[in-house]
Amino acid sequence: MRRFTKKELAKYNGQGGTATYVAYKGRVYDVSQSFLWQHGKHQVLHTAGKDLTDSLAEAPHGPELLEKFPVVGILEDS
């Protein structure tokens, strides 16, 4: 499986026609097909191309909503 650094992940922020990836607990999900992640933005507060593990703790939903989206890689610790 593809390994992403934070810098590589940042390229997939959904802006300017790039794919929309978000990381959660070390996994990188492709949410490009989601209505709620258009242009890499989610509910005003969140942007794609990042590790959003901490942000999800404040969300009005859990990680189960990520499950229907494909995992495209692993986020490296660095």
Partner 1 sequence: MAKVTREMVEKAGVNLDQLVELLVKNAAAELTTYYYYTILRVNLIGLEGEGIKEIAETARIEDRNHFEALVPRIYELGGKLPEDMKAFHDSSACPPASLPQDPRDIQAMLRVLVEAERCAVRGYTHLCNLTAGKDHRTYDLSQAILNEEIEHESWFSEFLGEGPSGHFLRRGETSPFVSKFLR
Looking at residue 60, what DSSP letter applies? Answer: S
Contact residue for partner 1 among 11, 25, 26, 36 (CB under 8 A):
36
- 35 is a contact residue toward partner 1 (CB under 8 A): yes
Burial 4-39 (b: 16+ CB within 10 A, else e): beeebbeebbbeeeebbbbbbeebbbbbbebeebee
6 binds, among partner 1, ligand HEM, none (CB under 5 to 8 A by kind): none
Stretch that binds partner 1, among 3-11, 13-21, 40-48, 70-78 (CB under 8 A): 40-48
Helix or strand or coil: residue 52?
coil
The binding site for partner 1 (CB under 8 A) comprises 35-36, 38, 43-45, 59-61
